[in-house]
Amino acid sequence: MKKLYNSKNSMPDDMIDGFVNAYPDIVKKGSNNRVVLRTHKKDKNKVSLLIGNGSGHEPIAMGFVGEGILDANVVGDIFAAPSSDLILEGIKETYNDAGSILLISRHEGDVINGKAACVDANDEGMNVKPFLMYDDISSAPKGKEEDRRGAAGTIFIYKILGAAAEKNMTIEELMLLGERVRSNTRTLGVAINSGISPITNKSMFTLPDDEVFIGMGVHGEPGVARRKLTTVKDLVFFMMSKILEDKDIKSGTTVIVLINGMGGSTLMELYSVFNEVNKFLKEKLIENVSPMIGSFSTTQETAGFSISLLIPDDLMLSLWRAPHITPNFPLIR
């Protein structure tokens, strides 16, 4: 498999340089090249919001930095969490009088390094709270939600908390709002072809041509089951049934649907997936509003997708639709 790069070691830094030079009115580099900041810092009386994560999954989270969502993204090496010291630098660059929230997608390295950075920040007199994000129903059974991985459904938390922070919510209010969003979000993914690791130039997993992996993680973690590749309708029916088994969604409920491509699936395919999800929900008399469809949390050229559902209250829905200025987060209607 061919990849475009100057050198493997320089890939994240070359990417960041290109990114900030493409959108100078929205993002800039911090004192450390691996800290991507919004160009126009928010008012000090508003809570700042940031996240650290490994590179190789773009546009998440770098592409969501900007007014109305993230104040910073601390970028690690490919598929590797940034160090606690680097995350602490990002916290210091974005810290406001109202405090800061560090979003942490629940993966081992991100959790360890993120929590350590928060401890160090608080030891230095800052008010920084870690917020763990998890939504992947394939990674732990019902009743053990806190053991689940973070997946594409964490995007709901980015956007809703980012918009709420702009409206002067306190750090305590934001943490409670984040808990409500998290408890009302479920995600299930499927991979049909492996991506290629930029580090090894090898496939991250193998799969027969007529099979799919249910529950594949964003770092190529093994799925929970294999199924024969059939129609989009059959696959979506299976996945939606699993999601509704995990989270009871009654007729008359309103949901937001997020269809996330893993990097190697076309919009033609993703819109076909959404069409089947929409038909499934209509049959259940569940209203689908303000969807988001595209490739946002990716694993190189992995072919596949995930379905995320959020059951929003009126506040969540208004914040989901709130305006923002970022390089890669789409307009939500």
CA 41 to chain centre: 22
Structure tokens at 45: 């009386």
**Cβ–Cβ < 8 Å for 181, 160:** yes
Work out the number of other CB atoms within 10 angstroms of the CB of residue 188.
25
Q: At what angle do helices 267-283 and 232-246 cross, to 10 degrees?
A: 50
Q: What is the DSSP letter of 63?
A: G
In angstroms, how far apart are the furthest CA atoms of the chain?
Answer: 56
Query: Cα–Cα distance between 323 and 332 in angstroms, integer?
Result: 8
**Helix (H, G, I), strand (E, B), or coil: what is residue 295?**
coil
Query: Cα–Cα distance between 97 and 43 in angstroms, integer?
Result: 9
Structure tokens at 329: 């987060």
CA distances from 90 to 101, 190, 293 (A): 11, 33, 30
Q: Look at residues 104, 159, 99 and name the one whose alpha carbon lies nearest to residue 130.
A: 104
Residue type, 286: I
Q: Indicate if 219 belongs to the active site.
A: yes
Catalytic residue among 40, 107, 219, 324: 219
Active-site annotation, residues: 57, 219
